[in-house]
């Protein structure tokens, strides 16, 4: 297990290095002069040129890139052009709101989507199944920013039940969470239904029913546990979807999160903040994928046997655990 974790951590390094190169290249070729935007239109060319020299903007691409990598090795993500504060502090102030919104949206999607998928699979071809598939299709088809505007129009403008913007209490999370999680709910529902339908046709499910076990025990203890692998697989992807949806919805609902910060920084040509924000997001995704891979071992003993190094004792334990899981 330790070797597997170490190997995945080593794989993260070239991934993060590639992210830094791509985002740095994109910022380098982006139109706009940060020095001019900081000084304003009334500044003279001499003042702008002096500031560019001070900021190192006149250096070559590779000189600036390697200087940036050197600062990263010392834990320095740079300094914001706009606020003159360290990028780590600027991003750190906004990141908790975005993570909380994305986490709640993903959690809400898991609970609702998996529940719909289980009921749809158990009641296959029923009215409930047909209705859930239609809802899933709508959830995947509707853009989350458009759904956010509809929710705002209905619950804030027409009914006045929920606040339209900001993030000052639990009520402010409801509409953003609903709009962000729509696609993920549909994805979890469709994946759970497909996986459950495959599992409940297996022989060990029929054996459990023949023993007289309660139907919900059969569904949740035997069927759902063995259907979790595809569901766990898409958790990481859906969290990324929720995080991307948070970036868009933060603009719609005026939420002071990382997404709004990134958009505002791109407009202001605050390149260090954009680069630092993207790098932190990439690191979060890499860690999340590692956690998802480790969760496989707790769900499927066959995968756990790969982590144990293939020893005979590990394989025997994995076989026993697999047999117990199907009983």
Ramachandran assignment for 260, one of left (phi > 0), alpha (psi -120 to 50 degrees), beta (any other): alpha
The continuous run of DSSP H or E covering 201 comes out as none
Cα 131 from Cα 133, distance rounded (Å): 5
Cα 208 from Cα 218, distance rounded (Å): 7
Cα 281 from Cα 275, distance rounded (Å): 10
Residue 7 tokens read as 């190997």
Closest CA to 252 of 151, 161, 320: 151
Residue 252 tokens read as 């719609």
Q: What is the mean pLDDT of each run of 10 residues along the chain (327 residues)?
A: 73 85 84 74 78 79 87 85 86 88 89 90 85 84 85 89 83 88 88 87 83 82 80 81 79 85 84 87 83 72 58 51 50
Q: Does domain 88-269 have CATH number 3.30.70.420?
A: no
Closest CA to 276 of 55, 30, 12, 93: 93
Cα 118 from Cα 81, distance rounded (Å): 51
Cα 239 from Cα 231, distance rounded (Å): 12
Q: Which residues of 196-212 are buried (b: 16+ CB within 10 A; e: fewer)?
A: bbebbeeebbeebeeee
What is this structure's pTM?
0.75
pLDDT at 326: 47
pLDDT at 241: 78
Query: Residue ranges of the domains in the chain?
Result: 32-73, 88-269
* Residue with token string 């998996």: 114
The CA-to-CA distance between both ends of the chain, in Å, stands at 27
Print the SS3 string covering 16-54: HHHHHHHHHHHHHHCCCCHHHHHHCCCCCHHHHHHHHHH
* Residue with token string 């979790």: 228
How many other β-carbons are positioned within 10 Å of the β-carbon of residue 293?
A: 17
């Amino acid at each position: 297990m330790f070797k597997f974790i170490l190997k995945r951590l080593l794989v993260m390094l070239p991934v993060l290095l590639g992210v830094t190169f791509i985002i740095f290249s994109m910022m380098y070729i982006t139109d706009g002069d940060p020095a001019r935007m900081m000084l304003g239109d009334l500044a003279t060319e001499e003042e702008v040129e002096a500031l560019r020299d001070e900021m190192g903007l006149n250096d070559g691409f590779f000189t600036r890139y390697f200087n940036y990598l050197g600062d990263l090795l010392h834990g320095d993500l740079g300094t914001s052009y706009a606020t003159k504060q360290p990028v780590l502090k600027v991003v750190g102030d906004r990141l908790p709101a975005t993570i909380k919104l994305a986490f709640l949206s993903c959690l809400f999607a898991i609970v609702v989507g998996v529940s719909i998928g289980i009921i749809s699979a158990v009641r296959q071809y029923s009215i409930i199944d047909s209705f859930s598939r239609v809802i899933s299709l709508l959830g995947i088809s509707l853009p989350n920013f458009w759904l956010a505007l509809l929710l705002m129009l209905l619950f804030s403008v027409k009914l006045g039940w929920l606040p339209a913007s900001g993030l000052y209490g639990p009520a402010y999370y409801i509409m953003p969470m609903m709009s962000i999680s729509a696609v993920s709910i549909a994805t979890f529902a469709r994946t759970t239904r497909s996986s459950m339908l495959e599992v409940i046709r297996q022989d060990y499910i029929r054996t459990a029913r023949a023993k007289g076990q309660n139907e919900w025990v059969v569904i949740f203890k035997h069927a759902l546990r063995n259907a979790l692998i595809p569901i766990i697989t898409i958790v990481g992807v859906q969290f990324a979807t929720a995080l991307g949806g948070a970036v868009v919805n933060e603009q719609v609902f005026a939420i002071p999160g990382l997404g709004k910060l990134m958009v505002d920084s791109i407009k202001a040509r605050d390149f260090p903040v954009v680069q630092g924000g993207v790098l932190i997001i990439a690191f979060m995704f890499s860690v999340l994928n590692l956690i998802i891979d480790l969760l496989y071992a707790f769900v499927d003993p066959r995968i756990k046997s790969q982590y144990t190094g293939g020893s005979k004792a590990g394989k025997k334990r994995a076989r026993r655990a697999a047999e117990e899981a199907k009983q």
